[in-house]
Amino acid sequence: MLFSRKIAFIGSGNMGEALLGGLLKAELTNPENIIATDIRQYRLDEISAKWKVTTTMDNHQAVQFADIIVLCVKPQALSSVLEEIKADIREDQLIISIIAGITTRTISRFIGVNNPVVRVMPNIPAVVDEAATGVCLGEFAQDVHKEIAMKILGAVGEVEAVPEELMDVVTGLSGSGPAYIYMIIEALTDGGVMMGLPRNIATRLATQTVLGSAKLVRETNVHPAVLKDQVTTPGGTTIQAIKELEESGLRPMLIRAVETATIRSRELSHFLEKTDNVD
The pLDDT tens digits of the residues spanning 103-154 come to 999 999 989 889 999 999 999 999 999 999 999 999 999 999 999 999 999 9
- Residue range 213-218: mean pLDDT, rounded: 97
- Separation between Cα atoms, residue 130 and residue 124, nearest integer Å: 9
The per-residue pLDDT for 272 is 60
Enumerate residues 6+ apart whose C-beta is below 8 A from 65.
6, 8, 35, 54
Q: Is the dihedral of CA 9, 13, 15, 18 positive or negative?
A: positive
**Are 38 and 55 in contact, with CB atoms under 8 Å apart?**
yes
The pLDDT tens digits of the residues spanning 159-195 come to 999 999 999 999 999 999 999 999 999 999 999 999 9
The pLDDT tens digits of the residues spanning 31-49 come to 999 999 999 999 999 999 9
Residue 270 pLDDT > 80: no
What share of the chain in percent tops pLDDT 70? 96
Q: Which residue has the higher pLDDT, 269 or 175?
A: 175
- Residue range 72-96: mean pLDDT, rounded: 93
With cut-offs at 50, 70 and 90, classify the pLDDT of residue 278: very low
The per-residue pLDDT for 279 is 41
Which of 124, 148, 145, 121 is CA-nearest to residue 135? 121
Q: For the chain, give the mean pLDDT.
A: 94
Residue 1 pLDDT > 70: no
With cut-offs at 50, 70 and 90, classify the pLDDT of residue 271: low
**Are 119 and 97 in contact, with CB atoms under 8 Å apart?**
yes
Query: Exposure of 151 by Cβ count < 10 A (0-12 exposed, 13-18 middle, 19+ buried)?
Result: middle
Residue 245 pLDDT > 80: yes
CA atoms within 13 A on the CB side of 4: 0
Q: Is 12 helix (H, G, I), strand (E, B) or coil?
A: coil
Residues constituting the chain = 279
Instruction: Set out the domains of the chain in order of their start, with CATH numbers.
Output: 7-167 (3.40.50.720), 177-260 (1.10.3730.10)
The per-residue pLDDT for 152 is 95
Residue 277 pLDDT > 80: no
The lowest-confidence range among 47-56, 71-80, 141-150 is 71-80
Residue 253 pLDDT > 90: yes
